[in-house]
Amino acid sequence: MSRHTGVELGESFIDPGVNAAHINTVLGPRGSAAETAWTTSLATPSAGYERFVVIMRPGVPVQPFTVFVSKAAPVDDRHGELIWGPAQAGVAAGVADAVAAGTIAPDEVTDLRLIVAVWVNPKADDAEAVYRNNRLATATALANGALCHPDVDTVLKTRGQIANPFFTPADGGAPGTESHAEEIP
C-alpha cells in the first residue's frame, strides 16, 4: 500500500548567489489533485514558461514522472540553456537521489506524479553550480515535503527573522511592527 495518500508540498533554497536554486515541489498519487495539476501544467504551457517532462537522458524520464515548470522565462539563449540543461539535469538527479534515499519509495514511483517549479537566475554564470544546487534543492524539497517541514512552531519562531536574497526588512520583520486591519466580527 502506498504511503502517499495525499499531496506533499516541499520547498528548498540552496546558495544565496547568482547560481542559486529555489525549488518548490508538489508530489501526489495518481488520481489526486497533484495528478490533475501535473496533467494541466503539461497540457497548458504559456509563452516563455514551457513545461516539460524531466529526463535522466533522452528516452529515460525520471521516475516518478516529473514535470518541470520554470519560474523564470529565459531572457536569452544562455539563460534558456541553463534552464533546459543543468537545472533540468539537477532536478532529475535530485529526484533520483530522493528515491535512492527512500524519501520516495522505489516501489511507488510509477503511482506518483511530481511537479517541480524551478527558478534559475538570469545572471547565473556557472552551469556546474546550477546543476549541483538544483540537485540538492530538489532532494531537499522532497524530503521537506515528506516531513511536512517546516512545522508551525518553526514558522512562528522565524517570523521575527524575515529575509530572502532580495529583501530583508530593516526591522528584520520583528513581531509587533506590523500593522493589522480592524478585526471584523
The set of catalytic residues is 22
Going by C-alpha positions, the residue among 114, 112, 31 that lies closest to residue 69 is 114
Residue 95 sits at φ, ψ, to 5 deg, of -65, -45
Give the span between the Cα atoms of 139 and 160, in whole angstroms: 28
Side-chain-side CA neighbours of 111 within 13 Å: the count stands at: 13
Radius of gyration over every alpha carbon of the chain, rounded to an integer in angstroms: 18
CB 27 within 8 A of CB 145: yes
Going by C-alpha positions, the residue among 126, 111, 62 that lies closest to residue 91 is 62
Contacts of residues 82-85 at CB distance under 8 Å and 24 or more positions apart, as own/partner, are: 82/120, 82/124, 82/127, 82/130, 83/118, 83/120, 85/127
Question: What are the counts of helices (DSSP H) followed by strands (DSSP E) for the chain?
Answer: 5, 7
